[in-house]
A and B are shown apart, each in its own frame.
Chain A
Amino acid sequence: DVKVTQSSRYLVKRTGEKVFLECVQDMDHENMFWYRQDPGLGLRLIYFSYDVKMKEKGDIPEGYSVSREKKERFSLILESASTNQTSMYLCASSLGDGNEKLFFGSGTQLSVL
C-alpha cells in the first residue's frame, strides 16, 4: 500500500530556530511536494521536486528551502522559524507519469512560539 511518512506529528519550536521537516515515501515516486494548510486558506504549495537534487518553487516559497538528496526523501527547511510559519505541513508524492494524483502523509502540526 502507498505510504508517505512524515517524521513528526507535532512539533513546537521557538522563533529563530532552524527547523527540519522530513518526509519519506516508499512508492518509488518521482515527484514530491510540500504544502501547508491554514484555516480558510486551503492547501498552498511551498516547494516541489520532480527528481533527485531538483527543486522548484511553489506559490509560497519565501522563508523555506528544501533538499532532495535521495529519491525517497524530501526535506523542508525553515531557516529561521517565525510565528507566521505556525501551520499544518503536508508532504505528498506522485508517480510522475503524467498522473497527477497525490498521496499525502499524515501531516506535521508545527507551532512556532
Chain B
Amino acid sequence: DQQVKQNSPSLSVQEGRISILNCDYTNSMFDYFLWYKKYPAEGPTFLISISSIKDKNEDGRFTVFLNKSAKHLSLHIVPSQPGDSAVYFCAASPGGGADGLTFGKGTHLIIQP
C-alpha cells in the first residue's frame, strides 16, 4: 500500500516557466512533509519542508503548498532553471518519532532550454 504517491514519473518544463510537482498521501497521521532533490549518482538533498499547521512555505524560487483536506501537496519552482533538472521526491512523516520518512517514487523534472 503506497502511502505517498507521486503520479507523474516525469515532467518536462521550459526554462523560465513554472514547474509544479504534485504529491498525494493517504496516511492521516502524517504531519510533516518534505521535498528532496536528487541528481544521478548522488544522495538526495533536502529542498523544503512544511508542517501540517501551515498551508504554504516559501524559500526563494521554491514554494510548497499543503491541502490537508485533500491530502495533497505540491512543489512550485519559479522560474525554472536548467540546474533544476533532477528527480524530486516527496516524503512524509508522522512527526515526533525516529521512524524515518516515507517517500514517493519520485518525479523526474526535465527543464528544456
Contact = CB atoms under 8 A, between A and B. Distances in A.
B43 A104 contact: yes
A101 B98 contact: no
A99 B29 CA distance: 16
Interface in A32-84: 33, 35, 40-45, 48, 50, 56, 58
A41 B42 contact: no
Contacts of A40: 9, 105
Contact of A98 (B43, B44, B96, B101): B96
B70 to A, nearest CB: 21
B43 A31 contact: no
B98 A30 contact: yes
Interface of B: 6, 9, 32, 34, 36, 41-46, 49, 89, 91, 93, 95-106
